[in-house]
Amino acid sequence: MTTDKPVDKNMLGNETNVEENITWLSVEDCRLRLSGFAFFEEDHKLERIPNRLKSVFNEINPCLNELGGNTAGGQLSFRSSTSRILIRAKITAVPNMVSMTPVAQCGFDCYIGESPKNLKFFGITKFDRTQSEYICEVVSKLDTTKVKEFLFHFPLYVGVKEVEIGVDSNAIIEPPTPYEKEGKLIFYGTSITQGGSASRPGMAYTNYLSRKLNLEHCNFGFSGNGLGEYEVAKMLSEIEKPLLYIIDYEANSGTNGRMVKSLDDFIKCLRESHSEVPILVVSRVPHLMDLLDESAGTLRNSLREFQRGTVEKFRSLGDNAIYFLDGYTLWDDDFDEYTVDFIHPTDLGFYFMGKGLEPIIREILNKH
Amino acid sequence: MTTDKPVDKNMLGNETNVEENITWLSVEDCRLRLSGFAFFEEDHKLERIPNRLKSVFNEINPCLNELGGNTAGGQLSFRSSTSRILIRAKITAVPNMVSMTPVAQCGFDCYIGESPKNLKFFGITKFDRTQSEYICEVVSKLDTTKVKEFLFHFPLYVGVKEVEIGVDSNAIIEPPTPYEKEGKLIFYGTSITQGGSASRPGMAYTNYLSRKLNLEHCNFGFSGNGLGEYEVAKMLSEIEKPLLYIIDYEANSGTNGRMVKSLDDFIKCLRESHSEVPILVVSRVPHLMDLLDESAGTLRNSLREFQRGTVEKFRSLGDNAIYFLDGYTLWDDDFDEYTVDFIHPTDLGFYFMGKGLEPIIREILNKH
């Protein structure tokens, strides 16, 4: 059985061992902005769940701790005049998914621009899929006469034990342009929220939105495990400076009845700590089965109306900061083309989710 | 190092060993329509290059023979009342790409509809990435009271030694609704033409177009090897019943000068056998470097004008069946988001290529 490399040299890796005149920047370098890890200050780990809550989650749903080690939503930013960008990473597993690219699961991508408003996609870590450590040259030959903005997205479906960014030793390195405003978009949801199956990390809809809105976000998508646990809501409520909660977990909790059981308490838990922070409840994007299977369609409609009704109930009780969005409105009639496997959006599905949510989130943030 | 399976059960495979009451259909079953393999009748192999030409290609570019073994563009269709679809395949290699999903490289996807005009995406082979043989259940629980149209797309970047489709033993099996018209769209080009980096085979722009236009197509994208060889043009000219040639190889032959050397002869070779079959020359989609690097932009513009000029020259000599399309018009200003690696389109990029080309191809076919 051959495992030979592709014939096409453009499909080969960009691993490198040319490290002369390269300085390695740690994620704790004070000139770099690490974001998306809400509890980093507590444990100094690249994880989404703090150590102190792991025993609680071990009791209620151990999968959360495993998935919490995935770095979805992590970002690293700075400004620099470097000509090259290297990424050196140690990850917790090699790629193991049939319907997601290795680079989306375990790699990084890089955006560069004159300002956060005009970031452009520039490259990925094209690492050896059989290894859990890599050094890749993501970008080279950049114009060193200009100081530019750099943004890196972390892997979506693996843990990162260590990561460093390599830049020219003589490059200017300075903090990035600040976010549009302080605070965090906090996404809670499923595999779709976690980014399955984007082609590379930056195309997950959460990363897309963070980039387009120039706001920090934290991704609490737990693949297959968006089950609306009260303890998860409690954790989300402890995050400092929330700007907006986006609650999108129907895909894991609809058919098993967990959404109907949990949504009210989930929202109340957030409201106990944050009475005026806006909350956006998003019902799930369409599945073909909703149209083909009468019972699936009926259930889907009732879950959408349940979510709409829950939001309306809170509003009728005086909560003016809670909103509902029908996820069906994010995709058009071609939606069957937007997933890789009947469930998980590709870049195509994510792009339209991001495009659809962007103005809605802007409007909510403008009001609050 | 863990290579454990994903936590999320929705990300797991759909391999099966439940074959009771399943009948296996061979690609040579007379009720099935195998398409996209222009020379199948000669060698009865699922390859894109006939045996008789392999010694020629070994002389000029052996990579063509290796890539010719990849099944990009292969399709299998029939009508059936089956409740399940299984796919049993032996492939020539296990997945080995960092920026493409295993299912796009080595797997199949399946579309189903009442007619070829309303086919919808229904499922993939979620096989074990470490194996070169698999049996997967792609679809189940279909309504057996209706005879429906089934369309399968072959893997894009691997060879298929054997493949069979499993259906209910008591299901009706009959030939698919015929194509819109007889004849083949013949695509010639690069890795982009071959389908790198679609998320699954059906999202390659060539498969998208074949589906939307309901026409047979043959994919002669040769990853990294769209070099405009005269012998390749000769092979394409030998294919029976061409409807339209789409020539899209700038991405492999622009910067190395091979396009300028070859395009005129390539077209003349096709014209020797097919004086009235329409030809559409498409310059490549934009790359960010075209905008950032002055010399890249200048070269890109000159190559586009070279292609436009070549087409105009043929037209001025009385050839009214040759057309040029500026590939820049297929993507909008967000185009940097449309690739996985700065070069290869994702489903997002392919979707817009398909959407853009569809009306243009329709118009050309209507005229000829």
- Domain assignments of chain B as residue spans, ordered by start: 9-63+73-174, 184-367
Of A66, A120, A197, the CB nearest to B336: A120
Pairing of strands A173-174, A75-80: antiparallel
Chain A nearest C-alpha distance from B263 (Å): 22
Does the beta-carbon distance from A6 to B97 stay under 8 Å?
yes
User: Which ranges in chain B belong to alpha helices (H)?
Assistant: 40-43, 54-60, 62-68, 102-106, 191-194, 205-213, 230-237, 250-253, 258-273, 288-292, 294-316, 347-367
- What phi, psi does A75 have (nearest 5°)? -140, 155
Cα distance between residue A278 and residue A183, in whole Å: 12
Chain B nearest C-alpha distance from A97 (Å): 7
Task: Report the topology of domain A9-174.
Answer: Jelly Rolls (2.60.120)
Structure tokens at B342: 């700065």
Locus of tokens 């061992």: A17
Does the beta-carbon distance from A225 to B96 stay under 8 Å?
no
With pLDDT > 90 as the criterion, what percentage of chain B qualifies? Answer: 92
Cα distance between residue B87 and residue B125, in whole Å: 7
Does the beta-carbon distance from A351 to B337 stay under 8 Å?
yes
Structure tokens at A357: 């949510």
Q: What is the pLDDT of residue A356?
A: 98
Residue B118: count other Cβ atoms within 10 Å of its Cβ.
10
Contacts of A200 in chain B (CB under 8 A): 99, 340-341
Does the beta-carbon distance from B11 to A67 stay under 8 Å?
no
Contacts of B67 in chain A (CB under 8 A): 7
pLDDT digits (tens, 9 = 90+) for B252-303: 999 999 999 999 999 999 999 999 999 999 999 999 888 888 999 999 999 9
Contacts of A355 in chain B (CB under 8 A): none
Q: What is the pLDDT of residue A11?
A: 82
Cα distance between residue A10 and residue A6, in whole Å: 9
CATH code 2.30.110.10 for A184-367: no
Does the beta-carbon distance from B348 to A344 stay under 8 Å?
no
Contacts of B196 in chain A (CB under 8 A): 8, 11
Asked if pLDDT for residue B76 goes beyond 60, the answer is yes
Structure tokens at A231: 């303890």
Contacts of B351 in chain A (CB under 8 A): 337, 348
Enumerate residues 6+ apart whose C-beta is below 8 A from A366: none
Residue B151: count other Cβ atoms within 10 Å of its Cβ.
25
- A·B CB contacts under 8 A: 206
Reported ipTM: the value is 0.96
Q: What is the pLDDT of residue A5?
A: 74
Nearest CA among A270, A173, A187 for reference residue A226:
A187
Contact (CB, 8 A) for B328 and B285: yes
Q: What's the angle, vertex CA A157, arms to CA A59 and CA A163, rounded to 5?
A: 105
Asked if pLDDT for residue B163 goes beyond 60, the answer is yes
Contacts of B288 in chain A (CB under 8 A): 120-122
Residue B334: count other Cβ atoms within 10 Å of its Cβ.
13
Contacts of A63 in chain B (CB under 8 A): 7
Of B93, B94, B126, the CB nearest to A99: B126
Of A1, A95, A341, the CB nearest to B132: A1
DSSP state of B337: G
Cα distance between residue A319 and residue B55, in whole Å: 75
Chain A nearest C-alpha distance from B342 (Å): 6
Asked if pLDDT for residue B8 goes beyond 90, the answer is no
Chain B nearest C-alpha distance from A2 (Å): 5
Does the beta-carbon distance from B200 to A99 stay under 8 Å?
yes
Cα distance between residue B264 and residue B271, in whole Å: 11
Does the beta-carbon distance from A98 to B96 stay under 8 Å?
no
What value does the mean pLDDT take over residues B112-138? 96
The model's confidence at residue B82, banded by pLDDT at 50, 70 and 90, is very high
Cα distance between residue A72 and residue A88, in whole Å: 18
Cα distance between residue A122 and residue A85, in whole Å: 10
Q: What is the pLDDT of residue A254?
A: 94
What angle, rounded to 10 degrees, do the helices at B230-237 and B258-273 form? 20
Contacts of A157 in chain B (CB under 8 A): 6
B252: burial class by Cβ within 10 Å (0-12, 13-18, 19+)? buried
Does the beta-carbon distance from B340 to A103 stay under 8 Å?
yes
Nearest CA among A43, A100, A39, A46 for reference residue A74:
A46
Does the beta-carbon distance from B120 to A336 stay under 8 Å?
yes
Cα distance between residue B207 and residue B195, in whole Å: 9
Of B99, B120, B199, the CB nearest to A340: B199
Tell how far CA A257 is from the center of its chain: 26
Nearest CA among B202, B247, B204 for reference residue B75:
B202
Q: Considering the domain B9-63+73-174, what is its CATH architecture?
A: Sandwich (2.60)
Q: What is the pLDDT of residue A309?
A: 98
B135 or A290, higher pLDDT? B135
| 3-class DSSP assignment, residue B69 | coil
List of chain A residues with pLDDT < 50: 1-3
Cα distance between residue A341 and residue B318, in whole Å: 49
Contacts of A67 in chain B (CB under 8 A): 7
pLDDT digits (tens, 9 = 90+) for A308-340: 999 999 999 999 999 999 999 999 999 999 999
DSSP state of B296: H
- For A208, nearest residue in chain B (alpha carbons): B337
Q: What is the pLDDT of residue A2?
A: 44
- For A226, nearest residue in chain B (alpha carbons): B8
Q: What's the angle, vertex CA A298, arms to CA A192 and CA A327, rounded to 5?
A: 35
Contacts of B348 in chain A (CB under 8 A): 203, 346-348, 351
Does the beta-carbon distance from A107 to B94 stay under 8 Å?
no
Cα distance between residue A70 and residue A47, in whole Å: 7
Number of helices followed by number of strands (H, E) in chain A: 12, 15
Cα distance between residue A349 and residue A288, in whole Å: 14
Locus of tokens 């077209």: B267
Q: Is-same-fold flag (A9-174; A184-367)?
A: no
Cα dihedral sign, B235-B238-B240-B244: positive
Contact (CB, 8 A) for B327 and B246: no
Of B3, B7, B9, the CB nearest to A66: B7
- For B100, nearest residue in chain A (alpha carbons): A101
